[in-house]
Amino acid sequence: MPSVPPLDFSGLNTYSLHGRHSKVTVADFAQPVKPGMTVRELIANLPKQLAGKDFPELVERIAAAVTQKRPVLVGMGAHVIKVGLAPILIDLMERGIISALALNGAGIIHDAEIAMVGRTSEEVANVLGAGAFGAARETGEVLNQAINQGAKEGIGLGEAVGNALLQQNFPFNDQSLLAQARRLGIPVTVHVAMGTDIIHIHPAADGAAIGQCSHHDFRVFCRLVSGLEGGVYLNLGSAVLLPEVFLKALTVVRNLGHLVQRFTTANFDFIRAYRPATNVVHRPTLEGGKGFNFTGHHELMIPLLAAAVVDRLGDV
């Protein structure tokens, strides 16, 4: 068989590098880190590429929302609590930066266990075989009693649990998002998928009460979203539930005639998932505003975001 001759490149058309448009220039490069560098200097010296460009813009948008008295709403998964970030979020609430929180059902479990005993997150693999996973008595009793009482009072699930934690004066309430939000008068809504949370297997669980309180919270969340124009919605670590809730709330308020078009959204998570990217970052901002997507560990990214925003607002 004859061999295939290689293609002759000698006639290739070329152009000058000096006249070509390039996406990266030395003006966009990062600057070296220096001892004693401030947060503001660190952010300013990031490379002006990809997340290094997007992150400072998000910080500016959050700061603008706060200074203009627009809401900063945070929807979050329970892992944010499990990796020890409640104190940072509580500080942001106390500073008036976070306007409201939206949690999934697991969020109240980890938060309440922290309030009660200062620790949470059992080793599932060690107890699942014996059928003991999720069977902690106090967790089931305290939370289900709070929800059942909340249903009697006609209030939401987040408010009911916050009230119960404060009333029982647990030793670690100062580390509890729900207790501190209730103390500060900041709304916390809880969005439950029945059967996903350990408290649903306990004898005191009342499906009607859980559904009533969680639906009340969905309506409260819709009220909060109705005022989101010019504000910010942050999705921290919820891959499915909160992105779906946010999208439904947004369509409800637009259907009812509320102007919610120009606002900022951002998703922070370990990996890029379909629902946060679609239901938080892209679809909601098609009418205006801007969405951002950041990938990284919560225990690094959220403190960095908080530090940058607090530092930026130090001048106002």
Provide the token pair at 300.
Answer: 């690094």
CA distances from 255 to 180, 244, 248, 249, 258 (A): 34, 17, 10, 10, 7
pLDDT at 259: 96
What sign for the dihedral angle of Cα 117, 118, 121, 126? negative
Order the strands of the 72-76 sheet from edge to edge.
188-191, 100-104, 72-76, 232-236, 264-269, 290-295
pLDDT at 121: 84
Which residues lie below 8 Å from residue 218, measured CB to CB, with a gap of 6+?
A: 189, 191, 245, 248, 249
Helix (H, G, I), strand (E, B) or coil at 233: strand
pLDDT, one tens digit per residue, over 28-41 is 999 999 999 999 99
CA dist 288 and 155 (Å) reads 34
Q: In which band, very low, low, confident or very high, does the pLDDT at 241 lie, cut at 50, 70 and 90?
A: very high
pLDDT, one tens digit per residue, over 261-299 is 999 999 999 999 999 999 999 999 999 999 999 999 999
In whole numbers, what is the pLDDT of the chain averaged over residues? 95
Per the listing, tokens 């999705």 go with 235
In the chain, DSSP finds a helix count (H) and a strand count (E) of 13, 6
Residue 168 exposed, middle or buried by CB count within 10 Å (0-12, 13-18, 19+): middle
Q: Has residue 316 got a pLDDT over 70? A: no
pLDDT at 125: 76
Tell me what the mean pLDDT of segment 64-93 comes to. Answer: 97
pLDDT, one tens digit per residue, over 178-230 is 999 999 999 999 999 999 998 999 999 999 999 999 999 999 999 999 999 99
* 264, 294 contact by CB (below 8 A): no
Q: Has residue 315 got a pLDDT over 70? A: no
